[in-house]
Chains A and B, each alone.
Chain A
Amino acid sequence: MSRKFFVLLSTMLVSALILGACSTAAEAAPTAEEVTAPAEETAPTAEPLSGTLQIAGSTTVQPLAEVLAETFMEANPDVVIEIQGGGSSVGVTSAGDGTVAIGSVSREIKSSELETYPDLAIYTIAYDGIAVIVNPELDIPSLSVEQVRGIFSGEITNFSEVGGPDAEIVVVSREEGSGTRAAFEELVMVYKDENGETVETSIVENALLQQSNGQISTVVSTTPNTIGYLSFGYLSDAVKGIAIDNVDPTVENVKNGTYSIYRPLSLLTKGEAQGLAKAFIDFILSDAGQEIVAEDYITVQ
């Protein structure tokens, strides 16, 4: 019995060998070089069309980067692009520290950050609107910016005060490292009062804090009486985007200037982008790349 098994096993191995040999011969290019030490493949190699690229940062940029990466990788099959989230501040610190090749952010870079990382290079790749969203079961007409501010700062606590049903408002927000939050705060929570003075209101203390656009979407869509904000790219029929001053949150409305809550999406590198990172960024800023951007976001032009 065991002899038969042995014969069968060796036949299988030999046939696998032959098949492997044939397919290796059939391939035009030889397979990758062998190194007996663990390979260092994260740094972009001299040849721009092979290697691994790591991108980390804004969860807003993440899905856009994924789509762009797919196209780029199809055109350059020896390239692998790995994309992570974490929030815009992760993008700044990882790119600044050199932990990843490209960091992504969905807000303006702060001066304190430029002080800490003076050689940060910024490449704006798109513009993105921020939509205020509520749980789809809530029937709320448009809101004004003042009302949104009141809700998120805790002054307005019941939906009935803004034309909705009688229910306590549950505020959902991003955590402090989020670019989306920073942009939202700057565009909505900060305002100039009658004397022209800048007043900063802060998001209410008992807001549920989430770590990414995706998490905001999940919480708002599955928990009743919630209100939150997220990037246009994450709008879906799972949540309801509220019109601000009767302007719907759509890409067209940002383009024609009626919807004013939007911010730049940028990629950061430590020093001038080089090699693989440069190739990828060039691709994004090219017509082909911007075409992909235009599907859900606003192009740089």
Chain B
Amino acid sequence: MDLKTFTSPNGKKRPIFISLLTLFTLLLSIAFLVFGILLFFSIVTFPVNKWVALFAGMILSFGFFLLSKGFFTLQNWARTCLLSILIVILIGILILQIFDFSSAVFAGKEVLSLGEIFSNFGKFLLKTILHATAPGIIFFFLYKFDDVFSETPKQRHDFDRIIRNFLMGTALSAILIVILIFFFTFQESELAITEIGLKKLLTGTIWRPGAIIGTENAQFGLVPMVIGSIYSTLGAILIGLPLSLGTAILLAEIAPDFVRNIFRTSIELLSGIPSVVYGLFGMVVVAPMIRQIPVEGNTTGFGILNASIILSIMILPTITNITEDAIRAVPNSYREASYALGATHWQTIKDVVLPAANSGILAAVILGISRALGETMALIMVIGNSIAIPKPINENPLSVIFATARTLTGNIAVEINYAAGVHRSALFFTGVLLFVFLLLINRLANRIMRGNKTK
């Protein structure tokens, strides 16, 4: 076979550039093999396990050998492969340069002045162009020579299949992540279950992880945290449900269109506010306000009341949106029938529409509860984080809302950074508890909603 005049199945002559590429990839293949062998026998050193080096060398060498063979016979897949590799290299160069540029401009005490930014930008361009020249030229020419390459229909079919399997892999990634989460959190919590025991964890009322000097009898009872979570969620629902329900009825039935639009955009805005801002607001505005309430023993302004207030605002958009959708989903025929029977608008809403939207409203409330239970940062900032079971601060049992508490989520967030051993395992157990519980709640809500849709 005459190298220079080999013609591709298309009948085109192979350009010299491609021949050079073939040679280049062949050389790379040999180089990887040699390098791998050298590393294995420690003739050259590199901070990598020698078996890994040998293996990697062999694989890379084989890969590049295939690539060179592909170029020799002008296969399309070789071209696609090399193009993708080059794209990755080019993007990598770009990213590294951007990091450098960004660090130079922003990392100092102050951002650099415009002139300096400009000159740094110039440096960035210069370095990028310098580094990207070689890969870029190869890329450009390879791209241009596309009609020299060919592929058989079988190859196209195979490629399709490869893509399909690859995509299936990505689809399975979602379940892989869930499995990983299950696996890791369960595994980490195992120590707690064996050493402390489920009974003590779930029914114990004292949480003292045992950093107390000398005391080895650490206690890991989760009951205070469970009660804290329940109380704050309950409070949030008590305050938030009327508001959300009222707003939803308003938007779905009563308000004119322009009011509806204003409300809709506002509620969307509400749902976009980060939770830390709510926490900040609770600390700076709500806490002083609560302190003003003349109740005996009310001193800090932090506690369940504060948490309930800001939590209710946070779940407002969730409940309102779903409830409104549920109300709108009630067929108009119901309403018409009701009016025909002579009912007023309010009677219609009260006796016909709302009961019909029942399941949707229930689903909305459940989702709101799940959101409230899962909230972390905002609550840490306003609930006080004390480890005691919230108790009324004076004779009136209702004053428990002024007590400070800690939620299950807060427990994890506050202590995870430094927990070790059994303590850490107990925190993971808390996570598992939350995870499983919220899972069940969400499935329930989804099932109710789906049942609603098929009506």
Contact = CB atoms under 8 A, between A and B. Distances in A.
Do A and B touch, yes or no (CB under 8 Å, in the complex)?
A: yes
A213 interface: no
Interface string A206-224: 1111110000000000011
A18 interface: yes
B93 interface: yes
A182 B122 contact: no
A176 interface: yes
11 contacts: A16-B125, A22-B119, A93-B420, A176-B209, A176-B211, A177-B415, A185-B213, A202-B212, A206-B388, A209-B386, A223-B302
B126 A24 contact: yes
B415 to A, nearest CB: 7
A23 B418 contact: no
Contacts of A176: 208-212, 415
Given A24-B123, A93-B418, A211-B414, A226 B211 contact: no
Interface string A153-197: 000000000000001101000011110011001100010000000
B66 to A, nearest CB: 22
Interface stretch (A84-92, A142-150, A270-278, A280-288): A84-92
Contacts of A181: 211
Nearest to B303: A208
B93 to A, nearest CB: 7
Interface residues of A, number: 50
Nearest to A198: B214
Contacts of A182: 211, 213
Interface centre among A88, A92, A208 (most CB of B within 10 A): A208
A36 B386 CA distance: 50
A32 interface: yes
A19 B118 contact: yes
B268 interface: no
Contacts of A116: 420-421
B16 interface: no
Nearest to A32: B100
A206 B406 CA distance: 10
Contacts of B209: 176
Contacts of A35: 96
Given A87-B418, A200-B212, A208 B302 contact: yes
Interface in A41-94: 86-90, 92-93
A185 B212 contact: yes
A141 B287 CA distance: 28
Given A176-B208, A208-B302, A224-B291, A20 B415 contact: no
A74 B120 CA distance: 21
A90 B120 CA distance: 39
Interface stretch (B293-301, B323-331, B335-343): B293-301
Given A20-B123, A176-B211, A209-B414, 9 more contacts: A17-B129, A21-B126, A31-B123, A110-B213, A116-B421, A207-B386, A208-B385, A208-B386, A223-B300
Contact of B213 (A15, A22, A186, A208): A186
Contacts of B123: 20-21, 23-24, 31
Interface of B: 89, 92-93, 96, 100, 118-127, 129, 131, 208-215, 287, 291, 297, 299-302, 384-388, 391, 403-404, 406, 414-415, 417-421
Contact of A90 (B213, B299, B386, B418): B418
Contacts of B415: 175-177
Contacts of A266: none
A170 B299 contact: yes
A206 B100 contact: no
A185 B301 CA distance: 27
A104 interface: no
A17 B126 CA distance: 6
Nearest to B390: A206
B288 to A, nearest CB: 9
Contacts of B384: 208-209
Contacts of A13: 125
Contact of A177 (B100, B120, B208, B417): B417
A237 interface: no
Interface centre among B297, B391, B414, B418 (most CB of A within 10 A): B418
Contact of B118 (A16, A90, A211): A16
Contacts of B421: 116
A86 B403 contact: no
Contacts of B215: 200
A51 to B, nearest CB: 14
A157 to B, nearest CB: 10
A291 to B, nearest CB: 22
B122 A21 contact: yes
Contacts of B297: 168
B385 A209 contact: yes
B96 A34 contact: yes
A36 B93 contact: yes
A110 B218 CA distance: 15
Contacts of A22: 119
A175 B415 CA distance: 8
A20 B122 contact: yes
Contacts of B118: 16, 19
B299 A86 contact: no
Nearest to A35: B96
Contacts of A18: 122
Nearest to B213: A186
B122 A205 contact: no
A175 B300 contact: no
A208 B127 CA distance: 54
A269 interface: no
B387 A177 contact: no
Q: Which A-B residue pairs are the 7 nearest by beta carbons? A: A20-B122, A89-B418, A177-B418, A205-B388, A16-B122, A20-B123, A176-B211
A168 B418 contact: no
Given A36-B89, A177-B419, A225 B299 contact: yes
Contacts of B129: 17
Nearest to B115: A19
A117 to B, nearest CB: 10
A224 B301 CA distance: 10
